[in-house]
Amino acid sequence: MVALVLVGHSPELLRGLRAMLAQAAPTVLVSVAGGTDGGTLGTSAPMILAAMRRVFAEAPDGAVVLLDLGSAALALEMALDDLAPADRARVRVSRGALVEGAVRAAVEAAGGAPLTAVLAASEVPPGQAKLPDDWPADGSAPA
C-alpha cells in the first residue's frame, strides 16, 4: 500500500491532519515532519529525511509527499539528496493542497491504488467539489 509523508511548518497542524487521516483511512501509513528540530515553526531537512526513511522501512509501494507551503520544497529537496536512490525512485511529490490532497490521497491509497493514482488523487485543485455547485462564484453567502 502507498504511504503518505506530510511536510509542514507547524507540528500542531500536522498532528491534527494525521488524526483526520487516521479516521478517514486507518490502514494507510502516514509519516509526518512538522516544524524544526527544536519544535518551532519551520521545516527541517533532517526531519523530512527521517520521515521518509520511516515509511520506506515499511512501505515498499512508495510514498506521496505533501507540503504546506513552497518554502518546504527547499528543505524537501535537500532531504531527497540524502535519500537512497532506490527509495528516491519511489517518492512522488504532490502539487496538491495539504489538507484536501492528503485526505483524498489517503482514501485512494487505502483502496490499494498504485503510486501514480494516489498522486493524481492528491492533486485535485483546491476548492473543487468542496462547495455545492450553486454557491456564488464570488464566494459571497448564498442568497
Partner 1 sequence: MSGALVAGWLRLAASRIAAERVHLTELDAAIGDGDHGINLHRGFGALEARLAAGDFAMDAPGPLLVLAGRTITGTVGGASGALYGRALQRAGAALEAWPGGSGVTLAQLATVLRAAVDGVAALGRSRPGEKTMLDALVPAVVAFEAAGATGADLAGALQRAADAAEAGARDTLPLLATKGRASYLGERSIGHLDPGAVSSALLLRALADVAAGGA
Q: Which residues contact 108 (CB under 8 A, 6 or more apart)?
A: 117, 118, 121, 122
Choose among 128, 129, 108: nearest CA to 119. Answer: 108
For partner 1, which residue of 31, 43, 94, 122 counts as binding (CB under 8 A)? 43
**Residue with Cβ nearer partner 1 (64 or 72):** 72
Which cell is 87 given?
527509495
Which cell is 31 given?
509519516
String marking each residue 82-121 x if it binds partner 1 according to CB under 8 A: ----------------------------------------
Region 57-86 residues binding partner 1, contact defined as CB under 8 A: 71, 74-75, 77-78
- Minimal distance, residue 72 CB to partner 1, in Å: 9
Choose among 108, 126, 125, 107: nearest CA to 116. Answer: 108
* Contact positions vs partner 1 (CB under 8 A): 9, 35-38, 40-47, 71, 74-75, 77-78
